[in-house]
């Protein structure tokens, strides 16, 4: 080929390449512009006055959240949103959005009006059926996820499975099945005399028996493990300050549970039991009433979470006697309440990992949100209190990629309150809107 012809051909090739590059840049810019105004292919779009970003600790104004197949598909400012006819727009323009709340200490099969000897009158089927009503109340109160830390006869497993299969309405449940403890301890049945040979289903004495109970619980559907490391307020004949599981038993339980991918929650009021549970490697301490500065330092160093139910005292001492709570239990609560709240403040000041745990079931289900005001009163900022019921429990349960914040790709668990909960935390006692995995269960106060 002649040199001039080659040069002409080469020039055309360069020109074509430049045109192609220009076209690519133009298309890219157009695509970005389109994304800016048409980013939602969502079946649902929620617009609101603001939303609480629990990961950054900030309030975001004028959000628009797109939802597809139960997951958050996009989050943007409303001025970038183009609404199309096929969108289901949920207008919450006077509300603040938050992630679905998470309560890490509930008993959905327990009735606040049935304590002490009255519990002997409830059959397992009746106990389970009550849980259906309590699960619905909990969800409609804005708690889309709970950790049920102990139930007889795997009633909580049945409740969880029925919710998951769409047969009943309720929160997402992480369930412990039978609480594991020693003979005569807080997790045993101590109400009846020797003649009846009554025994709690999770009773185990010795490390290998304790391992066996973990394995049984997992076999029958438990997704978390609950142990009783000390005596309790509501159990007959136990001392709240007394350690009940040895360090060898605790370590055996934790090793077995962690080997199977489950977290461990330890009921522990007394100081020795708290320290033994932390040393044994549990993931959370429930109640933590008598935790001193050394125990708090241990928890901080090991990343152990505290779940401290600092609201329940009012109900136990105010309504408990009418509900059948034993006098010895009322006396124990008088000892525990003030100390627990003082130590809660110390734990917050030390920046210990904290998760929201109400002990609902001791007091009425659906009132879970009343604890937020107590948490702020005793040292937390409103944002810290909200984080304790959202991103913190999701992280503790190792499901932060799916739950705990309003983020793209996570499940669409969304609630709304009228007003700003960072200014008035008590707003979380009256949740106006509840969505779980893209399904609306409550809107504007109606179920």
* Same domain for 154 and 50: no
Write the pLDDT tens digit of every residue in 168-201: 999 999 999 999 999 999 999 998 999 999 899 9
Distance CA 440, CA 414 (A): 9
* Same domain for 412 and 369: no
* Residue 40 belongs to a domain: yes
Q: What is the 3-state secondary structure (H, E, C) of 155-203?
A: HHHHHHHHHHCCCCCCCEEEECCCCEECCCCCCCCCCCCHHHCCCCCCE
CATH number of the domain where residue 326 is located: 3.20.20.140
CATH number of the domain where residue 432 is located: 2.30.40.10
* Residue 229 belongs to a domain: yes
pLDDT band at 139, cuts 50/70/90?
very high
Determine the structural domain holding residue 52 and report its residue range.
17-100+407-447
* Same domain for 266 and 210: yes
* Same domain for 172 and 285: yes
* Same domain for 443 and 325: no
Instruction: Write the DSSP symbol of residue 413.
Output: -
* Residue 432 belongs to a domain: yes
Mean pLDDT of 111-127: 91
* Same domain for 412 and 343: no
Mean pLDDT of 336-346: 95
* Same domain for 371 and 399: yes
- Asked if 387 and 372 touch (Cβ cutoff 8 Å), the reply is no
* Same domain for 276 and 247: yes
* Residue 5 belongs to a domain: no
* Residue 332 belongs to a domain: yes
pLDDT at 294: 98
Percent of the chain exceeding pLDDT 70 equals 90
* Residue 309 belongs to a domain: yes
β-pairing, 44-53 with 63-68?
A: antiparallel
Write the pLDDT tens digit of every residue in 28-66: 444 443 444 334 445 799 999 999 999 999 999 999 999
* Same domain for 359 and 341: yes
β-pairing, 433-436 with 414-417?
A: antiparallel
* Same domain for 354 and 208: yes
Q: Is the pLDDT of residue 81 over 70?
A: yes
- Asked if 210 and 183 touch (Cβ cutoff 8 Å), the reply is no
pLDDT band at 320, cuts 50/70/90?
confident
* Same domain for 411 and 399: no
pLDDT band at 6, cuts 50/70/90?
very low
* Residue 325 belongs to a domain: yes
Q: Which two tokens stand for residue 290?
A: 């008598």
Q: Is the pLDDT of residue 15 over 70?
A: no
3-state class (DSSP) for residue 318: helix
pLDDT at 334: 92
* Same domain for 298 and 323: yes
* Residue 7 belongs to a domain: no
pTM for the structure as a whole: 0.89
Number of domains in the chain: 2
CA angle 367, 361, 260 (to 5 degrees): 115
């Amino acid at each position: 080929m002649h040199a001039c012809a080659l040069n002409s051909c080469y020039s055309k090739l360069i020109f074509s390449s430049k045109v192609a590059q220009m076209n690519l840049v133009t298309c890219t810019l157009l695509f970005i512009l389109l994304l800016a105004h048409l980013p939602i292919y969502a079946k649902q779009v929620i617009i609101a006055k603001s939303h609480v970003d629990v990961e950054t600790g900030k309030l975001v104004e004028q959000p628009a959240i797109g939802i597809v197949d139960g997951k958050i598909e996009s989050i943007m400012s409303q001025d970038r949103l183009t609404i199309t006819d096929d969108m289901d727009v949920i207008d919450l323009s006077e509300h603040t959005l938050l992630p679905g709340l998470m309560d890490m200490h509930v008993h959905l099969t327990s009735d606040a009006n049935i304590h002490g000897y009255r519990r002997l009158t409830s059959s397992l089927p009746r106990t389970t059926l009550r849980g259906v009503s309590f699960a619905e109340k909990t969800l409609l109160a804005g708690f889309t996820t709970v950790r049920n830390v102990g139930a007889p006869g795997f009633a909580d497993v049945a409740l969880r499975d029925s919710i998951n299969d769409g047969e009943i309405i309720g929160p997402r449940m992480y369930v412990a099945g039978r609480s594991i403890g020693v003979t005569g301890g807080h997790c045993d049945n101590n109400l009846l005399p020797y003649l009846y040979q009554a025994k709690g289903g999770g009773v185990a004495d010795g490390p290998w028996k304790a391992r066996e109970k973990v394995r049984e619980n997992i076999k029958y559907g438990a997704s978390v493990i609950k142990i009783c490391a000390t005596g309790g307020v509501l159990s007959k004949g136990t001392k709240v300050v007394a350690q009940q599981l040895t360090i060898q038993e605790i370590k055996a339980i934790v090793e077995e549970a962690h080997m199977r991918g489950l977290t461990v929650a330890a009921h522990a009021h007394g100081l020795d039991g708290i320290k033994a549970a932390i040393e044994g490697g549990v993931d959370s301490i429930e109640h933590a009433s008598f935790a001193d500065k050394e125990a708090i330092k241990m928890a901080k160093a090991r990343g152990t979470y505290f779940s401290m139910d600092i609201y329940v005292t009012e109900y136990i001492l105010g309504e408990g006697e009418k509900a059948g709570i034993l006098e010895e239990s009322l006396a124990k609560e008088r000892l525990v309440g003030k100390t627990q709240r003082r130590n809660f403040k110390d734990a917050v000041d030390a920046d210990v990992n904290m998760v929201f745990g109400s002990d609902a079931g001791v007091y009425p289900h659906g009132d879970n949100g009343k604890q937020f005001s107590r948490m702020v009163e005793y040292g937390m900022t409103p944002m810290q209190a909200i984080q304790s019921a959202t991103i913190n429990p999701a992280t503790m349960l190792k499901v932060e990629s799916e739950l705990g914040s309003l983020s793209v790709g996570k499940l669409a668990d969304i609630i709304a309150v009228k007003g700003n909960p960072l200014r008035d935390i008590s707003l979380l006692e009256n949740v106006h809107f509840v969505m779980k995995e893209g399904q609306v269960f409550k809107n504007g106060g109606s179920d």
